[in-house]
A and B are shown apart, each in its own frame.
Chain A
Amino acid sequence: MFLRVRAEKKLGDFRLNADFEMDRGYCVLLGPTGAGKSVFLEIIAGIIRPDRGEVRLNGADITSLPPEKRGIGFVPQDYALFPHLNVYKNIGYGLRRVEKWERERKVKETAEKLGIAHLLDRKPARLSGGERRRVALARALVIQPKLLLLDEPLSAVDLKTKGVLMEMLKFVQRDFGVPVLHVTHDLMEAVLLADEVAVMLNGKIIEKGRLKDLFRSKNEDVSDFLSARNLFLRVSEILD
């Protein structure tokens, strides 16, 4: 297994108790809002320490490593671009140990691949939502991470943009050869992107496998979430 996580974490009333593994590839972690998906990603990134358990990446135990030593790219839900730095400096932020000419080459190359090479002088405040996503993605990819974590990378975009962005994500994963763990509450993203799917409910990974196996799941909670519950979620979102 490429990534293996067994982690327990108590945060107020919420309790995460996750047992998870994934191969190199595109894994989508599905779950409703409040299931603990973001906390789970932050444990993998090293931002939150689990109370118990371990995180193994490529066979190595990284549980006690700080985020800066893990080499894991992380794109949080609102992208968290550095507002005081322009796009060039945002993307190049993780390359300070790299020589200047090399940094310049890497930043430009990554920006070109993601179609944001014309934005390098801009500050984040003057970017559109889609452009911000690309910059955040480029910033995480340019350090050549061992694993890329995406927290709801396609939330709050219209259907057409979503399609474009999904193709980009698929391209990114192949072109950069980086395994991706993508967290979402949207079944469609799993259907279109995932090699493997995991389902998280109430802080627990309750099912894992290929999507079509998941639909045949005998676990009531899973089928409930994938069908009826998902429908309710969609309807409630539309009504919101």
Chain B
Amino acid sequence: MRPIFSVVLAALSSVILLFILLPIATTVTLQFFNFDEFLKAASDPAVWTVILTTYYAALISTLIAVVFGTPLAYLLARYSFPGKGLVEGIVDLPVVIPHTVAGIALLVVFGSNGMIGSLSPVRFVDALPGIVVAMLFVSVPIYVNQAKEGFASIDVRLEHVARTLGSSPSRVFITISLPLSIRHILAGAIVSWARGISEFGAVVVIAYYPMIAPTLIYERYLSQGLSAAMPVAAILILLSLAVFVALRVLVGRENVSESQG
């Protein structure tokens, strides 16, 4: 590589990295200069309840995405059928809809007068199920597309040979397709979980209460200002980073053992 080219590459790349790291690092470091406030927030049970609610709701949403999204991903990766493009478009739809709009649309269906909300014994508005459906709506495209990519990366001939060796399509799915795409599935689940945790717009419309972390931070910012919102924001950053790194290491390790045989 020409030296000038490498310098330009490095310079432009660092702009993006700095742009991502600077706000995050600053928010966290500032807590050291205001440690009392940080400790107060960190020892506030209300903060922890909110964080647990957030993680728990995102976890349920991810499990639903995995259970219902995996078959859909397999279908899209393996079969061609009339209207497949349309189905793929539907899966991607939540990505292009503004999230507050998604929240309104969900409220219309899951609200107490809505098609599902009026019939369901479960309450969605201002309740945990409402948070879950909002998180699911925005994160399920991410999961389905990741899993689809995983299935598509498997050579179909492996599945064909497994059939000739006496396996039904469902057994082929369980013994060949699923284990070979498990990394994509795990990675998809992690990203979809993270996406759920970070959702604010859709959740706040359908369920302001029980509060999730982004809602709490927004509320503290509006009512008490930046200095009140920052400690909670910093806690959420640190927690998210820890969980994210732990899971990446976990998936990464399986990746290594797979390639080493």
A residues adjacent to B (C-beta < 8 A): 42, 45-47, 66-68, 70, 72-74, 76, 78, 80, 82-84, 86, 93-94, 96-97, 122-123, 125-126, 139-140, 143
Residue of B nearest to A72 (CB): B164
Out of B162, B166, B175, B259, which one reaches A125, CB within 8 Å?
B259
Neighbouring B residues of A70 by C-beta, 8 Å: 164
Q: Would A125 and B164 count as touching, CB distance under 8 A? A: no
B161 adjacent to chain A (CB < 8 Å): yes
B16 at the interface (CB under 8 A from A): no
Q: Is the CB of B261 within 8 A of A76?
A: no
Shortest C-beta distance, A67 to chain B (Å), equals 4
Closest to B157 in A: A80
Q: How far is the CA of A70 from the CA of B168 in the complex (A)?
A: 12
* Smallest Cβ-Cβ distance to A75: which chain B residue: B161
Residue B17 CB within 8 A of the other chain: no
Q: 23 A-B residue contacts at CB 8 Å?
A: A45-B164, A66-B168, A67-B164, A68-B166, A73-B164, A74-B161, A76-B157, A76-B160, A78-B157, A80-B157, A80-B158, A82-B162, A83-B158, A83-B180, A84-B180, A84-B258, A93-B165, A94-B165, A94-B167, A96-B166, A140-B164, A140-B165, A143-B165
A residues near B162, Cβ cutoff 8 Å: 82, 93
Select the residue from A67, A97, A122, A125 with max chain B CB neighbours within 10 A.
A67
Q: Are B165 and A80 in contact (CB under 8 A)?
A: no
Q: Which residues of B contact A123 (CB under 8 A)?
A: 261
Chain B residues contacting A46 (CB-CB under 8 Å) are 163-164
Chain B contact patch, size range = 10 to 19
User: How far does the alpha carbon of A97 sit from the alpha carbon of B165 in the complex, in Å?
Assistant: 11
- Taking the closest CB of chain B, its distance from the CB of A187, in whole angstroms, is 26
C-alpha spacing A75/B163, complex, angstroms: 12
B82 within 8 Å of A (CB atoms)? no
Query: B155 contacts which of A80, A94, A122 (Cβ < 8 Å)?
Result: A80
A11 to B92, CA, bound (A): 30
By a CB distance below 8 angstroms, the chain B residues around A84 are: 179-180, 258
A94 in contact with B166 (CB, 8 Å): yes
- In angstroms, Cα B240 to Cα A138, docked, is 49
B176 within 8 A of A: yes
Asked whether A68 lies within 8 Å of B167 as measured between CB atoms, the reply is yes
Q: Given A80-B155, A84-B179, A123-B261, are A45 and B160 also a contact pair (CB < 8 Å)?
A: yes
When the two chains form their complex, are residues A82 and B163 in contact, meaning their CB atoms are under 8 A apart? no
Nearest Cβ on chain A to B80's Cβ, whole angstroms: 13
Minimum CB–CB distance for B199 against chain A, Å? 34
CB distance from B150 to the nearest CB of A (A): 13
Chain A hits for B179, CB < 8 A = 84
What chain B residues lie within 8 Å of A72 (beta carbons)? 164
| B176 engages A68 (CB within 8 Å) | no
Least Cβ distance of B103 to chain A in Å?
41
Within 8 A of A (CB), among B6-64: none
- A82 engages B176 (CB within 8 Å): yes
Task: Assess the A143–B166 pair: CB atoms within 8 A.
Answer: yes
Say how far B160's CB is from chain A's closest CB, in angstroms: 5
- CA gap between A206 and B242 in the complex, in Å: 67
Query: When A and B form their complex, which 3 residue pairs have the shortest distance between CB atoms, in order from nearest?
Result: A123-B261, A94-B165, A67-B163
